[in-house]
């Protein structure tokens, strides 16, 4: 099954995106395409040498950018054509040779999940997710970056959701939405047979495919040196 890499970015994260793309060029292979989506207003500031099979798309941003980018991620099936979509954030980098096609076993992406009582401050997303499904949700699904979902799952979720999904997300007060927790809960409830859901209580730690940084803190000199060393 083919996998597209999907990256939602914006101007303030472009300095991180540079390292993300350079790490993909150096380490990632056997992916289908890379799709980068940025706000229209940032297009004139986007100046990168793109990897092979990498395409830039723009979108007219609405409302709060943080919430709108979550909506765009849940609409990634409109930008990608492969059967599988791997989400990579701008502040994530690959650190070793990675065969993207080998990350999905028997057509089932692995999704880690952790009971809410074990996720610390992450429990703040529990009522947010439960508000979408109008029932208790036992697990948190945003355990690590590099999440991969079937393109069809996104389309099915959009069909399942009643009402205007974009308005629902961007109208949330205090930025109270969590796209991957919602998508993970949906997939586990309605498409469990398409994924390998793994409870981290019964899981032996495996290093993630990508290393995550924290773009909100800014790119420090130490981080820049570390990133320069990764991509050199």
Which pLDDT tens digit goes with each residue over 39-48? 999 999 999 8
What's the pLDDT at 218?
Answer: 78
According to the 3-state scheme, what is the secondary structure of 172-190?
CHHHCCCHHHHHHHHHHHH
The structure's pTM equals 0.96
φ/ψ bin of 98: left (φ > 0), alpha (ψ from -120 to 50), beta (otherwise): beta
**68 membership: H or E segment, kind and range:** helix 65-74
* Rounded distance between C-alpha atoms, residue 158 and residue 78, angstroms: 11
pLDDT at 228 over 80: yes
**Of 231, 220, 215, 225, nearest to 8 (Cα)?**
215
**How much of the chain exceeds pLDDT 90, in percent?**
93
- Dihedral, CA atoms, 212, 214, 219, 220, nearest 10 degrees? -90
pLDDT at 70 over 90: yes
Per DSSP (E only), the strands in the chain are 3-8, 28-29, 34-39, 54-59, 84-87, 92-94, 98-99, 110-115, 139-140, 148-150, 196-199, 210-212
What's the pLDDT at 139?
Answer: 98
* Rounded distance between C-alpha atoms, residue 218 and residue 232, angstroms: 21
pLDDT at 217 over 80: no
What's the pLDDT at 52?
Answer: 86
Question: What's the average model confidence in pLDDT over 183-197?
Answer: 98
pLDDT at 135 over 80: yes
Question: What's the average model confidence in pLDDT over 147-174?
Answer: 97
**How much of the chain exceeds pLDDT 70, in percent?**
100
**Summary mean pLDDT of the chain:** 96
* DSSP 8-state symbol, 134: T
In the CATH hierarchy, which top-level class contains the domain 3-231?
alpha beta
Strand 110-115 to 98-99 pairing: unpaired
pLDDT at 216 over 90: no
């Amino acid at each position: 099954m083919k996998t597209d890499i999907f990256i939602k970015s914006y101007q303030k994260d472009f300095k991180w995106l540079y390292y993300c793309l350079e790490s993909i060029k150096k380490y990632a292979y056997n992916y289908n395409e890379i799709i980068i989506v940025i706000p229209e207003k940032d297009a004139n500031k986007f100046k990168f040498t793109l990897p092979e099979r990498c395409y830039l798309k723009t979108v007219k941003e609405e409302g709060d950018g943080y919430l709108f980018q979550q909506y765009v991620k849940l609409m990634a099936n409109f930008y990608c054509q492969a059967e599988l979509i791997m989400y990579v954030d701008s502040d994530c980098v690959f650190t070793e040779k990675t065969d993207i096609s080998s990350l999905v076993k028997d057509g089932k992406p692995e999704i880690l999940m952790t009971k809410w009582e074990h996720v610390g401050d992450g429990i703040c997303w529990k009522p947010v997710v439960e508000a979408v499904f109008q029932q208790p949700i036992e697990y948190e699904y945003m355990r690590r970056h590099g999440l991969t979902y079937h393109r069809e799952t996104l389309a099915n979720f959009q069909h399942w959701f009643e009402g205007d999904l974009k308005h629902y997300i961007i109208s949330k007060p205090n930025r109270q939405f969590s796209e991957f927790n919602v998508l993970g809960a949906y997939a586990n409830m309605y498409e469990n047979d398409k994924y390998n859901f793994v409870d981290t209580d019964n899981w032996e730690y495996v290093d993630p495919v990508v290393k995550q940084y924290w773009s909100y803190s800014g790119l420090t000199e130490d981080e820049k040196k570390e990133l320069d060393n990764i991509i050199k």
